Amino acid sequence: MQSTTITEERDLVLSEMAETLIGSEIIKLAAEVKLLIDKGEKIHNLTIGDFDPAVFPIPEELESEIIEAYKAGHTNYPAANGIGELRKAVSKFLTSNEGLEYHADQILIAAGSRPLIYATYRTILDRGDKVIFPVPSWNNNHYCHLTDAEQIIVETKPENNFMPSAQDLAPFVKDATMIALCSPLNPTGTTFTREGLAEICDLILEENNRRSPGEKPLYLMYDQIYWALTYGNTHHANPIILRPEMRNYTICIDGISKSFAATGVRVGWAFGPDRIINKMKAILSHVGAWSPKAEQVATAKFLEETEAVNTYLVSIREQLSERLSTIYNGIQQLKKEGFNVDSIAPQAAIYLTVKFSLHNYKTAEGKILNTTEDITKYLLQEAKLAIVPFYAFGASKESPWYRLSVGTVAMKEIDSLFHDLRVALSKLSKD
């Protein structure tokens, strides 16, 4: 009998893209959290950008429509760009809620925002094309890697709520093909002002007026998946509303994942110029990244229920705002007590930006917290607090800032969270 040789997995040669793809820092932290939970420890897990369905269930009307859609047999392939009923419903939703006029054929449905972002990158960018994006921000570095695009990273500042300004972006636009922006921003929960976004739009329009006919324009990908979740005096700004001329250059990413706590339902949409949307449709038709048909049928019907939609949005905003404000006030109280912490007042989304300036502090055991990674581990082990450092979103490795997510937080748990945090901070000393 002829013997066979089993190749060791380490000897398998893969693509350069796969071999050099960077793992998620969030997933790495999640593994540490899970290990502690598996040991029976109670962890205040504020890492995940998701919702606990027990705390934030999807709208009852949407749930009922999903069940009915499956009972009605909507289990076959949907249209490649999304069923017509849903695209029409999204078109009406955009007009009534944002004042945006896009017809159904300018809207593309997919399984959440991720495939739509990938398709935007793949449609617009050739190998080596430059993409400008701010940090901290979510996953733009990975999408550049997946599409062989070149990154132009702009590190933002807390003085501007970690939102990029036109002045920040201006030195790089001449050589760029796309600017990738998100507002409200993941991970910070902060937003563009109308004035700030208008200045960026003017920068893009000026650059495109400079470019010669036939030259690839400078495009804007605008991720507004959290747009409906704004609080207080904060109002969402859209580039096409501010500057109608941006319509030719802007692809917007949106969906029900965040506004309706429906991250697992997987219904997202993009809207933009016909030619770009059609090419994105072609790409995703080969990938097969369709939103499930039953969920599309259900979402189309739900979006038509204006009273149910508005009632849910009011409720979820109130609940999220209460959690964000309570934790923000708790951090500010710790700051008043002399602990070296801080936070930015909540504006939007499900995130709070918090700061733990604990570098070079000494633990009760005499260990020095030299790095942000040391601080993150200390907070997890001693305060049982799991939050995500901004370096997981591309910021400096030593940034003292963190993302705190409230989508899984019950109000009754917050007092316990601050008790544990105060005890842990009290154990630290500064040499």
Verify that 74 and 103 share a domain, yes or no. yes
Q: Where are the alpha helices (DSSP H) in 304-362?
A: 306-336
Verify that 246 and 299 share a domain, yes or no. yes
For residue 25, the domain's CATH number is: 3.90.1150.10
Pick from 234, 297, 228, 239: nearest CA to 267:
297
Which residues, 6 or more positions from 397, have their beta carbon under 8 angstroms from its beta carbon? 371, 372, 391
What pLDDT was estimated at residue 30? 80
For residue 150, the domain's CATH number is: 3.40.640.10
Verify that 131 and 242 share a domain, yes or no. yes
Verify that 247 and 265 share a domain, yes or no. yes
Q: Residue 66 is part of which domain span?
A: 60-305
Which residues, 6 or more positions from 391, have their beta carbon under 8 angstroms from its beta carbon? 25, 372, 397, 398, 399
Verify that 182 and 70 share a domain, yes or no. yes
**pLDDT string in tens for the chain (431-residue length):** 555 555 666 678 899 999 998 877 787 788 888 888 888 989 999 998 999 999 999 999 999 999 999 999 999 999 999 999 999 999 999 999 999 999 999 999 999 999 999 999 999 999 999 999 999 999 999 999 999 999 999 999 999 999 999 999 999 999 999 999 999 999 999 999 999 999 999 999 999 999 999 899 999 999 999 999 999 999 999 999 999 999 999 999 999 999 999 999 999 999 999 999 999 999 999 999 999 999 999 999 999 999 999 999 999 999 999 999 999 999 999 999 999 999 999 999 999 999 999 999 999 999 999 999 999 999 999 999 999 999 999 999 999 999 999 999 999 999 999 999 999 999 999 87
What pLDDT was estimated at residue 333? 98
Verify that 422 and 298 share a domain, yes or no. no
431 belongs to a structural domain: no
Report the C-alpha gap between 297 and 315 in whole angstroms. Answer: 24
Verify that 145 and 123 share a domain, yes or no. yes
Verify that 33 and 157 share a domain, yes or no. no
Q: Which amino acid is at 380?
A: L
What pLDDT was estimated at residue 6? 59
What pLDDT was estimated at residue 26? 80
Verify that 154 and 205 share a domain, yes or no. yes
What pLDDT was estimated at residue 3? 52
What pLDDT was estimated at residue 29? 82
What pLDDT was estimated at residue 4? 53
Contact (CB, 8 A) for 268 and 255:
yes
Pick from 116, 114, 152, 158: nearest CA to 134:
152
- Residue where a domain stops, chosen among 305, 336, 368: 305
What pLDDT was estimated at residue 9? 66
Q: How many domains does the chain have?
A: 2
Report the C-alpha gap between 324 and 98 in whole angstroms. Answer: 25
What would the two tokens of residue 61 be? 């009307």
Q: Which amino acid is at 208?
A: N
- Residue where a domain stops, chosen among 305, 323, 346: 305
pTM: 0.94
Verify that 274 and 300 share a domain, yes or no. yes
Verify that 263 and 292 share a domain, yes or no. yes
Q: Which amino acid is at 135?
A: V
